[in-house]
Amino acid sequence: MRKYCIPQPQRVRRIEESFAWIDHRLLRNGYLPVMTHQDQALYLFLALTADRHGVSFYRKEKICDLLGLDFGPFEVARDRLIDLKLIAFEPYSATSPNGHYQVLPVDGQPPDFAGDVLKRVALPQLSPGRSECARQTRSDCAGDAVAWARS
């Protein structure tokens, strides 16, 4: 076992009655680099306020007040955490902005949002009916345009 120095051995953390944890797989599996600061703050808050089942009952307004977030960035962070499959949210009713939040187990790797976006916005293959100029680079097209203009 590797020896190490505890800077303040008289102040070692101990688990008391209340306890929360942050899963180290957030770091090890690559979630932290894809999370914004707002995502991280909301996740930390929900992990700290969750019961033993990972459920938190705080209202949106209270969370925003405590984290210093406006409603828009809060909703973006909440939706991103849901997309990352790190939390679940069940509203109290169809019209309520409040509900139950559940911190979920950290499983696998985070989704590759950037790769997904690139796949969706990738240029479609040129159809056979397009002109040859459309298949060439811009500098080649410029040359073709000059040649066409001279003819």
pLDDT tens sequence across 91-139: 999 998 899 999 999 998 988 766 666 677 775 555 555 555 544 544 4
Range of the domain at 99: 17-113
Distance CA 60, CA 12 (A): 34
Query: Looking at the domain assignment, is residue 64 inside a domain?
Result: yes
pLDDT tens sequence across 43-98: 999 999 999 999 999 999 999 999 999 999 999 999 999 999 999 999 999 998 89
Distance CA 31, CA 84 (A): 8
Query: Looking at the domain assignment, is residue 147 inside a domain?
Result: no
3 state SS of 9? helix
Per-residue confidence band for 146, with pLDDT thresholds at 50, 70 and 90: very low
**Whole-number Cα distances in Å, 124 to 22, 72, 120, 121:** 43, 34, 10, 8
Greater model confidence, 120 or 143: 120
Query: Looking at the domain assignment, is residue 102 inside a domain?
Result: yes
The overall pTM is greater than 0.75: no
Number of folded domains that form the chain: 1
Per-residue confidence band for 26, with pLDDT thresholds at 50, 70 and 90: very high
Query: Looking at the domain assignment, is residue 78 inside a domain?
Result: yes
Query: Looking at the domain assignment, is residue 123 inside a domain?
Result: no
Mean pLDDT comparison of 6-10, 12-16, 58-62, 136-140, highest-scoring range: 58-62
Query: Looking at the domain assignment, is residue 137 inside a domain?
Result: no
Distance CA 2, CA 44 (A): 30
Nearest Cα neighbor of 73 from 46, 48, 36, 45 is 36
Candidate from 2-6, 35-39, 61-65, 74-78 with smallest mean pLDDT: 2-6
Q: What does the pLDDT read at residue 130?
A: 52
Q: Could you tell me the CATH number of the domain that includes residue 95?
A: 1.10.10.10
Query: Looking at the domain assignment, is residue 143 inside a domain?
Result: no
Query: Looking at the domain assignment, is residue 104 inside a domain?
Result: yes
